Amino acid sequence: MKKAAIIGTGLIGTSMGLGLRAAGWHVMGWDADSAVGKRALERGGLDALAESEEAACAGPLDLLVVATPPAAAHGFVSRARVPWLTIDTAGAKSTIAAASELPRFVGTHPMAGREVSGPDAATASLFNGATWVLAVDGAESTDLDEVEAVVSSLGARPTRMTAADHDAAVAAISHLPQLVAASLVGLAGDHPEAMNLAAGSFRDLTRVAGSDPALWLDVLAANREEVLAAVGELQERLTGLAELVE
């Protein structure tokens, strides 16, 4: 039986645990918030809950998953000394890839999620049909092949690209929309009567504004340069639209 350990048992980590267990893996887990770890175990996302991060990583393991926000993932890959094939799932890749001191590391990002977080929102079907990015920076081809097989078994469609290309892409299609949604909600909130008129199109545009703000601040900070560039491009486009309206 293959063995995996998951550091961080929120939405992504617990969903991975559910999927891996369904595929026949034995899954150990740990979370910095013990209540979150216990809930992941109760949900069936883990076979066992480790007492510490070190115990979860002790192995032997076929796969170590770091399913934490970017800052925590950055800290882990820069300090950990484990021989196992290791992946992270954070939404920004360049800074983590540059910080990794691990001998077998593949930075990844499943393009799947929900506006709610935590193990209670987890599902083994979360990754079905979703693109799952594998950052090629510093990764061995054999490790990339192994990770592709794992994410494919979870129902995802693996795709390889550089960390820089990933970060530029998600700034445009994920990180900028998050900022826009939050801005639209804030703007509408300044006009209480407007919220009474909001219908489907506004809700569709702003659904992601309900996501965990602390998590998103972490993601945006990790991809700061690309996000700022995307914001600047949007500002230029909005200025052009304003000139047309005038």
d(CA 143, CA 77) in angstroms, rounded, equals 16
pLDDT at 213: 80
Lowest mean pLDDT among 99-103, 211-215, 223-227: 211-215
**pLDDT tens digits, 108-133:** 999 997 777 899 999 999 999 999 99
d(CA 73, CA 174) in angstroms, rounded, equals 19
pLDDT at 188: 82
d(CA 4, CA 19) in angstroms, rounded, equals 12
**Per-residue pLDDT averaged across 53-61, rounded?**
95
Contact indicator for 160, 116 with CB cutoff of 8 Å: no
**pLDDT tens digits, 149-194:** 999 999 999 999 999 999 999 999 999 999 998 898 888 888 878 7
d(CA 88, CA 110) in angstroms, rounded, equals 10
Residue-averaged pLDDT of the chain: 94
Task: Tell me what percent of the residues of the chain surpass a pLDDT of 90.
Answer: 80
Q: Is the peptide bond before 119 cis (omega within 30 degrees of 0)?
A: no
Nearest Cα neighbor of 110 from 144, 142, 152 is 152
Angle at CA of residue 90, ends 165 and 158, nearest 5°: 60
d(CA 34, CA 11) in angstroms, rounded, equals 15
pLDDT at 232: 95
Lowest mean pLDDT among 117-131, 211-225, 227-241: 211-225
d(CA 46, CA 6) in angstroms, rounded, equals 9
| pLDDT higher than 80, residue 211 | no
pLDDT at 105: 98
pLDDT at 185: 86
Q: Please give, one letter per residue, the 3-state secondary structure of 219-241.
A: HHHHCHHHHHHHHHHHHHHHHHH
**pLDDT tens digits, 61-91:** 999 999 999 999 999 999 999 999 999 999 9
Q: Of 14 and 190, which is predicted with more confidence?
A: 14
Q: In angstroms, what CA-CA distances link 195 with 50, 177, 237?
A: 46, 20, 26
What's the whole-model pTM score?
0.90
Write the DSSP symbol of residue 100. -
